[in-house]
Structure 1
């Protein structure tokens, strides 16, 4: 048996069609169709295309995902027909938000396109976040104050790169840098320009070909309590960075 044969049996059962009807609609014999469902043989590409169009399920899902485990109505297609994002809910009907811990970031990059990997992650529900697919990523480094290590940035999945808005913050999943949280500046034919809120870091470009996922900032969850001394140090640091930025502008004049 294969995933394809299991999916074909399941999808036909959902439609309550006999094998003969499906075979007639696909313009093949019932015996030939039965072999595909039994996993005895694999359909050639031209028949696979017909099956995909018939059940209205993309080929990559038919051959790579057990569709019995997910609601097809609650799946979001990713660009380039790569994979899908299943929108799951808990027993109360609230959106399940997968949490990507810092130690699991590399595993996420390697398995982001594998729904089996994603469903093993811990989840939370935030009732005020609805109508979309959300995921939580850890903040690292000091490029985006006041967020620091111990903060989780919850992002809403962006389906179309043209929906990016200038000066808004996003989580970018890239082939080279991994998970980065930056402010969007502009888009060109081949790149997007992003920047850090910390002026010590210069803006830079990300090639569109290297972008795998984009998540728009929705909210943040801080897991580390701010201490008074920490806040004072942050205030001094912000003043210093602001002063440095003003000096740099004066020098350029």
Structure 2
């Protein structure tokens, strides 16, 4: 049996009842009066009272201020009864913009969501939708702990030895500055969806390289990257065939030289 702690993506329309209940609960937890909280938020006490009573909706700037004051996401304030959530166990992203779903089993062990091949195309639309994430199957790998992990399907032959049917288990990376040159990552991008590449920095952009030199590297803007998952483990679904393995040392050497030349040309350009 599993349980899932999550919040949903930001809504276009504020759920006033839930929001009002949440900010009333948070204020009571701190033991603050409405006036004291309003002063901390730099708004009028009368205005704050209308938010807590559910009579008016706060402007987005005030909504952000409240979220930052309590160090929780706007999503959490709007959509989830936080009285039923252990906030300390939630994994937050940059700028309090969302909270990732975290699935655990009955013993509290972290479960790993598996993105199946047939659902790969839908991940770009569903990665921030808790209903989509909750519907995924899960596995548990006891040696992968202290982080948030997710398994992604691999297609094509751009990253040998991984072939169609393989899964890369990635550990969630919270900030772009934590990306290390030359390491491999599952990247979710606005243009290509899920890709598994070796990544290098290039100013405010990133170069995505395939380990198969037949595939050209390409450049991606940091603003086009939605999620980053660093390689943690691989699940290979097919056995190796002789044709999949290098035939001799000379071939390996030529492929390495070709890749080095491409990297050098890329840096020069």
TM-score, scaled relative to structure 1: 0.80
Deviation (angstroms), 1:144: 0.9
SS in 2 for 1:52: helix
Of residues 215, 238, 245 in structure 2, which corresponds to 1:201? 215
Deviates more, 1:104-113 or 1:209-218: 104-113
Partner of 1:134: 149
Contact kept in structure 1, 2:113 and 2:149, CA below 8 Å:
yes
Q: Which residue of 2 aligns with 1:235?
A: 245
Q: What CA RMSD, in Å, does the superposition of the two structures yield over aligned residues?
A: 3.3
| Offset at residue 98 of structure 1 (A) | 1.1
Q: Which runs of 5+ in 2 are unaligned?
A: 1-12, 39-43, 263-269
Question: Aligned pairs, how many?
Answer: 244
Q: Quote the residue 2:9 is aligned against.
A: none
Q: 1:206 to 1:171 in 2, by over 3 A?
A: same
Change (3 A) 1:15 1:47: closer
Distance in 2, Cα, partners of 1:165 & 1:213: 15
Residue 67 to residue 120, structure 1, CA distance change in 2 (3 Å): farther
1:89 aligns with 2:104: yes
1:156 aligned to 2:166?
no
Alignment of 1:1-253 (within 5 A): 3-10=15-22, 12-13=24-25, 16=28, 21-22=33-34, 25-26=37-38, 27-29=44-46, 33=49, 35-37=50-52, 39-45=54-60, 47-49=62-64, 51-65=66-80, 67=82, 70-79=85-94, 81-184=96-199, 186-224=200-238, 226=239, 230-236=240-246, 242=252, 244-245=254-255, 248=258
Kindly tell me: are residues 44 and 170 of structure 1, through their superposed partners in 2, closer, same or farther at Cα, counting changes over 3 Å?
closer
Of structures 1 and 2, the one scoring higher in RCO (CA 8 A, sep 6+) is: 2
- After TM superposition, the score normalised by the length of structure 2 is 0.76
* Structure 1: gaps (5+ residues): none
Alpha-carbon displacement from aligned partner over 1:25-46 (angstroms, at most 9, x marks no partner): 325249x62x534534323446
- 8 A contact 2:152–2:168 mirrored in 1: yes
